[in-house]
Structure 1
Amino acid sequence: MIGLLSANSASMPIDALKVALPIGIGLASAALLTMKMTSNPADKSIPTVPIRAGDTTHDKEFTEDPDEFLSRAVEDHGPVFIVKVLNQTLITISGSMVREIFMNENFSFGDAMDALTGVQSFMMSVLKSHKDPDSRVIHEIVRDNISPNLPLFTPRIVEQLERVIDEQLGYCEGKIVEKPIKIVQDMIAYAMANVFMGPDVAQHRAVIDTFIQVTYDFGVVIGRENRKNPWHAWSNRTKYGLLNPLHKHIQVLTDVAGPAIEERRRQEAEAIEKGLEYDRPQDIMQRLLDNNEKYGFVDLEDLCGHLLILILVSVHTTTDTSNNLMYYLAAYPEYVEPLFQEQQEVLAQITNERTELRQKKLQSGEFASLDEFTDTELDPAHDRDLSAAAVKRMVHMDSFVREIFRNRTPRLDLMHIARKPITLSNGMRIAKGQMVVANMHSLHQSYEFQGEDPTEFRPWRFLGKAKAATKAATDFLPFGMGRHACPGRFLAIQELKTVGALVVSRYSKIEMQDPSHKKRALLSRIGDPCPSGLIFTSRSFAPVASNDKEA
């Protein structure tokens, strides 16, 4: 859940970690400085990168070679400088100073996104409660209900991912898939629908279509980087103030969820009447229903509105990155087999551990025979399942996924607006209302933070370094950092690693239909996909789903 859940947004304030004014400045001086910062939105103390002769902005120079442009800017001007790119005049913050963007509550990602895209009015229109942009309810829902329950949700996620990939791609020898994202969309939509809404709601195709379509609607509002400007925001606020596509999605969810909830209540009442414990559905919708007083939803539409915001953020980003993962596997085919071998070794290790545990229980007399393990946690039929524990052990896949994020994250990203005048640790002043942006290149493509060959794709870069793909820190910012780090990153990474594991277990070769588009493919996004399809070749044997029961 990168994007709105991954940065220091207005909807997710962090604990105060304020940067003090330099010691020795008197109250009068401080007041004078504040007045200057407020009245001068382009403070002279922050250097501006010179614009190349013949250009009016830095856009062309930046687009030609963003890495070289940003490296030279840091070398010439230091870690903080002003550039004119992406239709904005941006204060660019680099290196270790980037953490100051995320650790200061007066920098707001949410305010910046709303100023550039008008997304706040788009999203808040489906809510009846918690319309305050500083509300943390969405964050709390993810933190309380999704991340702690990954072991519970993983089997359901795997089941849906497997079903869709087998139905829509299946066994093939050199099959060309012009738009693999179509398969990925269904995979993620079915998996997330089961987690968020439950199997009884997810079985309806209208719900799946809503999960898919809402990602497009969200993408239109967010827009591409070069379209983010006040006019784009004004257009969105005007257009979606009259006709917001989210309203039809809310209608779909409530129309299907209403009868399903009534049936759940009927079953619960029946169980209570019989003196039995009700087997509560394990999905986020049920958890929100059970904790309605805690979260304060007004009605079912309001509850579904909060779910929809979770859906549009999580499905959009996970679909986007899962599709990109397939292109990386095609661009770097030499890593497919090592990832497959790791998976087989992990599943073999788990099988051996489970076998030993069953033998101990047999020897102790706790179980009389192997047949008694059926439908228990040690059922041999599930020895080779892609469980949460199994996926966690796949450290090569984890490093591969983290390296994809590191490589594809935009070089300038996560714009924030200063809500108040701010003084950075180097003494430079940022006025209220100024836009800052993180120089991701100075972190993600830096020898200091990434080690050898920081501009190269090295998928085993993080092995043995305690740098999991879920670890948000200064050297890895796709999910933000600090209290504002995306709480949904654990689900996102779990799902991405599972998609990768399923693909390499079924297909020995993934090729790019047109290799000339490799560079574009590795940076492709929803709404601007790679023009090249993918070619899939199955392994010569069907992947083993489970072990035969021990003799």
Structure 2
Amino acid sequence: MHFSFATIPTFVWVLIAFYVIYWIKKPRLSKNEPPMVPYKIPIIGHTIDYLFNAENFLAECKKKYGDPFNIYVFGQVNTIAGNVTVHEVFRTEAFSMLNATEDIFPLHRVLKSYNLKTLAQVIKTIREGITANLPLLTGRMQKQLLISIDKEIGDCSNPKLVNNEIFPTMVARPVADVLVGQEISKNEDLVKAFAEFTKDFGKILAIPPIFSFINPTFNTQVVTLPVRFGWNPIAKHLDTLKKYLKPELEKRLKDKEVLGDKYEPHLDIVEYFMNNPEYETKVINDEYLDKICEFLFIIVVASIHTTSQHMTSTLYDFAGRPELWDDIYEEQVMIDKECNGELSSQHINKMVKLDSFVRESFRTFDNIASEPHRCMEPFTLKNGMTIPKGRIVQTYLMDIHYNPEAYGPEPRTFFPNHGLENNLSASRTDKNLFMFGSGRHACPGRFFAVNEIKVGLHKIILKYQVKTPSGKTEKKIRVGPVAYPPIAGLIFENRKK
């Protein structure tokens, strides 16, 4: 290798730059913080272990340093809170999940109306417009799921291998019905827009967060830079919604004006939005249309992606456990006969074995750490440790969901009747199940999501025998500390009459 004195300045500058970054990024902890787990690689810290060995790494850290503890990943200190301390994080306003997710899921950079005020309105809308009307929406949900099953799975006289791509569309159809109404949700390209929105937004985040080692906000600016120059994979979905929604909004405004008190409101979120004094209008201009479409897609992001993942995973759990098939199937047959094929909320509530199975599938989904919260002001835990302002706190989900005190000496075992035996429904949040968060940060749409999963599984189990290709439970996919459903596909075959 050729070497000259001219190369010396280059090496010197590289070393200086490395030292400056190291000095700037070196963790500086305040008093009374959780203990910092030592690391060997400057700047990189624990990032490699966190990405490629999260389960063992975090388990060893907790065993040695207790709960909570600090690790250094992607250029910043994260506090890992397990089953002992995480409940304090979820029950106080000192922590913000929205603020924490903006760096890793920068929806605010592509949807202008995405902010704290809008999110608060979205939460209120879900509670009052969806959850409060669940009994009235059940029939429509069932109808749309049956359409989805027929379109996405269809006749399986011969065994058919079906991949996971059908589930976002299956979940999107009932959501579209509830959001924009029964009429325009019949358009398949609109259902497709709802189903693919979150996946296509994920394309913006395809670049690994390497710039987070400099600064998380800088990384967000870099990965969303293509959007500023015109590449926006979600723009087509917004255009699709606007295309169908504008004439519907104009029709409703005209009907209100003509019919007056005789106008019959629609039971959907569009109607709820238009009746909100803050969003009332007499004309559907581009600004109003943008606002309502972005509002609806915020709900889509919060609902379809997660619900479809868990419907997929729960069906894999069922398909891979033949010892449970008969018991759960018999319950569905009994309820189907009782309701003559037309489910009500009361009938869904009677699916106690299926509900318990779904809850256990949630628990064993195998996310290791997720649901980050940012500390918005210094907060002192009951154990005397202080979380400083600005700190990201990660929820150590595996420590909660596999807690031996709650689930016995073998907590990784799948207990299909745990919820049934302990009077715990799948939509209930408690200290031992954080699928939907907890306390002030609990998901407001969990009741609709659980009902949609249960109704979907109910109809599928009645119509098909569902198996995994291996005949056993399939392993989930891991990306860092986050789990995803298996990708083996599922084998569907018509049940013998």
The TM-score with structure 2 as length reference comes to: 0.82
- Once the two structures are overlaid, the 10-residue window that deviates more, 204-213 or 56-65, is 56-65
Who is 1:472 aligned against?
Answer: 429
Quote the offset at 1:156 in angstroms.
0.9
Q: Does structure 1 conserve the Cα–Cα contact (< 8 Å) formed by 2:205 and 2:223?
A: no
Quote the offset at 1:529 in angstroms.
6.2
Structure 2 residue aligned with 1:430, among 387, 390, 407? 387
Q: Does structure 1 conserve the Cα–Cα contact (< 8 Å) formed by 2:369 and 2:394?
A: yes
Quote the offset at 1:329 in angstroms.
1.9
Change in CA separation of 1:325 and 1:45 when aligned onto 2, cut-off 3 Å: closer
Is 1:72 matched with 2:60? yes
Quote the offset at 1:51 in angstroms.
4.4
Is 1:283 matched with 2:268? yes
Is 1:421 matched with 2:409? no
Quote the offset at 1:398 in angstroms.
1.1
What does residue range 68-107 of structure 1 map to in structure 2 within 5 Å? 68-85=56-73, 89-107=77-95
- Once the two structures are overlaid, the 10-residue window that deviates more, 203-212 or 222-231, is 222-231
Who is 1:387 aligned against?
Answer: 344
Is 1:236 matched with 2:220? no
Who is 1:365 aligned against?
Answer: none
CA distance in 2, matches of 1:105, 1:334: 45
What does residue range 7-18 of structure 1 map to in structure 2 within 5 Å? none
Who is 2:304 aligned against?
Answer: 315
What does residue range 148-187 of structure 1 map to in structure 2 within 5 Å? 148-179=132-163, 181-187=164-170
Who is 2:7 aligned against?
Answer: none
SS in 2 for 1:115: coil
Letter in 2 for 1:258: K
SS in 1 for 2:419: coil
Q: Does structure 1 conserve the Cα–Cα contact (< 8 Å) formed by 2:125 and 2:272?
A: no
Who is 1:19 aligned against?
Answer: none
CA distance in 2, matches of 1:195, 1:503: 21
Change in CA separation of 1:282 and 1:345 when aligned onto 2, cut-off 3 Å: same
Quote the offset at 1:455 in angstroms.
1.0
Structure 1 unaligned spans of 5+: 1-38, 352-382, 542-551
Who is 1:220 aligned against?
Answer: 203
Change in CA separation of 1:97 and 1:526 when aligned onto 2, cut-off 3 Å: closer
Change in CA separation of 1:134 and 1:386 when aligned onto 2, cut-off 3 Å: closer
Q: Does structure 1 conserve the Cα–Cα contact (< 8 Å) formed by 2:144 and 2:173?
A: yes
CA distance in 2, matches of 1:413, 1:278: 46
Quote the offset at 1:340 in angstroms.
1.4
Change in CA separation of 1:224 and 1:429 when aligned onto 2, cut-off 3 Å: farther
Residues paired across the two proteins, number = 461
Q: Does structure 2 conserve the Cα–Cα contact (< 8 Å) formed by 1:254 and 1:304?
A: yes
Quote the offset at 1:188 in angstroms.
1.5
Who is 1:115 aligned against?
Answer: 103
Change in CA separation of 1:332 and 1:237 when aligned onto 2, cut-off 3 Å: same
Who is 1:328 aligned against?
Answer: 317
Change in CA separation of 1:227 and 1:279 when aligned onto 2, cut-off 3 Å: farther
Q: Does structure 2 conserve the Cα–Cα contact (< 8 Å) formed by 1:117 and 1:232?
A: no
Report percent identity of matched pairs: 27
CA distance in 1, matches of 2:480, 2:311: 11
Is 1:488 matched with 2:432? no
- Once the two structures are overlaid, the 10-residue window that deviates more, 467-476 or 238-247, is 238-247
CA distance in 2, matches of 1:397, 1:150: 19
Once the two structures are superposed, what CA deviation does each residue of 1:36-67 show, in whole Å capped at 9, x if it has no partner?
Answer: xxx94465742233448999654565667655
Quote the offset at 1:178 in angstroms.
4.6
CA distance in 1, matches of 2:358, 2:440: 23
Who is 2:353 aligned against?
Answer: 396
CA distance in 2, matches of 1:248, 1:329: 36
Q: Does structure 2 conserve the Cα–Cα contact (< 8 Å) formed by 1:46 and 1:80?
A: yes
Quote the offset at 1:301 in angstroms.
2.5
RMSD: 3.3
Once the two structures are superposed, what CA deviation does each residue of 1:164-193 show, in whole Å capped at 9, x if it has no partner?
Answer: 2123322314533352x2322221122111
Letter in 1 for 2:496: S
Change in CA separation of 1:144 and 1:54 when aligned onto 2, cut-off 3 Å: closer
CA distance in 2, matches of 1:305, 1:149: 23
Larger RCO: Structure 1 or Structure 2 (Cα < 8 Å, ≥ 6 residues apart)? 1
Quote the offset at 1:337 in angstroms.
2.3
SS in 2 for 1:95: coil
Who is 1:29 aligned against?
Answer: none
Q: Does structure 2 conserve the Cα–Cα contact (< 8 Å) formed by 1:190 and 1:208?
A: yes
Quote the offset at 1:138 in angstroms.
0.9
CA distance in 2, matches of 1:524, 1:516: 25
Letter in 2 for 1:321: H
Q: Does structure 1 conserve the Cα–Cα contact (< 8 Å) formed by 2:44 and 2:75?
A: no
CA distance in 2, matches of 1:279, 1:148: 19
Q: Does structure 2 conserve the Cα–Cα contact (< 8 Å) formed by 1:137 and 1:295?
A: no
Q: Does structure 1 conserve the Cα–Cα contact (< 8 Å) formed by 2:180 and 2:268?
A: yes
Change in CA separation of 1:211 and 1:402 when aligned onto 2, cut-off 3 Å: same
